[in-house]
Amino acid sequence: MCCFAGGGGFNDAEVQKLRKALADLQEVSAEDKELISTQSALLDELEEECSSLKAFKAEAEETIAELRSAGDDMSSYETMIERLTEDNLELTAQVRET
């Protein structure tokens, strides 16, 4: 009979069972707290790494944009050099003819 049911108390076997269950529950609770603490620390590390990677990505994207712009400039210079080379060859040919 249970003490909640109106009277009597727990017998020794029931008390021991409840104490064992309470001890087991406390052990599981302590293990869960340790696991949560470990996972929380890992989450903090991952968040820092994610933030670092986002910053790296932003820098890389900026570098890529700069390189694309430099490539576009180089293409313009290449066209200009080709035109000047052609003009130079034409002028050289004209000088030889005269």
The rounded distance, in Å, linking the Cα atoms of 76 and 83 is 11
Residue 3 has pLDDT above 90, yes or no: no
Contacts of 9 (CB under 8 A, 6+ apart): 3
Q: By the 8 A CB rule, do 46 and 54 touch? A: no
The rounded distance, in Å, linking the Cα atoms of 67 and 5 is 81
The rounded distance, in Å, linking the Cα atoms of 22 and 88 is 96
Region 13-42: mean pLDDT is 95
- Which pTM does this prediction carry? 0.55
- What does the mean pLDDT of the chain come to? 91
**Domain map of the chain by residue range?**
3-70
pLDDT at 9: 79
